């Protein structure tokens, strides 16, 4: 009879321990290694290196080019040219739809949209003129709907591709 109970270990635990101790042994080997090359006879390896070289940059860079911007900026419908499709994403959606007509991207003033869609209740969203211009310029606009008496709102992320 043994003076202690026999030890049992599962295959999973055995493999886990093997990998752990194997990794520790490999790390100890790498840390403990120095140079495998013996120092030449009559010298001492101090483990330090000295760089006696010097680096000199003798080159010069000159920018002799000029850049002229001959384009013009305007608040015309041409801004919306980069935008081909308004794509709203309604968080927590359950049937709501936001439809922003392409022509609204360049219209003046604020615009309010009903997003009822196939839902049993409605919400509305107001987009300012500045927000619609941002959408037309392919910037992302994030707005929050009204609660519409439904005791919740929706965050709407609008992009244009």
Give the pLDDT confidence of 67-125 residue by residue, as tens digits. Answer: 444 444 444 444 445 688 899 999 999 999 999 998 999 999 999 999 999 999 999 99
pTM for the model:
0.50
Per-residue confidence (pLDDT) for residue 6, from 0 to 100: 60
By the 8 A CB rule, do 101 and 120 touch?
A: no
Four-residue CA torsion sign, 105, 107, 108, 111: negative
Q: Which residue has the tokens 């760089």?
A: 51
CA distances from 112 to 12, 67, 87, 129 (A): 62, 43, 17, 11
- 3 state DSSP class of 47: coil
- Bridge partners, 127 (sequence order): 111
Cα radius of gyration (the chain):
35
* Nearest in space to 156 (alpha carbons), one of 99, 145, 147, 137: 145
Q: CA distances (Å), 142 to each of 2, 36, 111, in order? A: 73, 63, 15
pLDDT (tens digit per residue) in 17-39: 555 555 544 444 444 444 444 54
> What single-letter DSSP state applies at residue 7?
P
3 three-state secondary structure: coil
Q: Which residues on adjacent β-strands are paired with residue 86?
A: 160
């Amino acid at each position: 009879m043994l003076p202690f109970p026999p030890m049992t270990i599962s295959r999973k635990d055995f493999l886990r321990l093997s990998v752990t101790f194997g990794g520790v042994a490999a790390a100890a080997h790498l840390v403990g290694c120095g140079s495998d090359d013996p120092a030449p006879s009559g010298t001492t390896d101090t483990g330090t290196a000295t760089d006696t070289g010097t680096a000199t940059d003798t080159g010069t860079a000159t920018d002799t080019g000029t850049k002229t911007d001959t384009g013009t900026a305007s608040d015309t419908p041409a801004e919306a040219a980069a935008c081909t499709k308004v794509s709203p994403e309604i968080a927590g959606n359950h049937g709501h739809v936001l439809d922003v007509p392409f022509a609204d991207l360049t219209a003046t003033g604020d615009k309010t949209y009903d997003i009822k869609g196939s839902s049993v209740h409605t919400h509305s969203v107001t987009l300012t003129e500045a927000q619609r211009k941002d959408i037309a310029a392919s910037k992302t606009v994030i707005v929050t709907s009204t609660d519409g008496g439904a005791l919740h709102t929706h965050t709407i992320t609008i992009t244009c591709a």
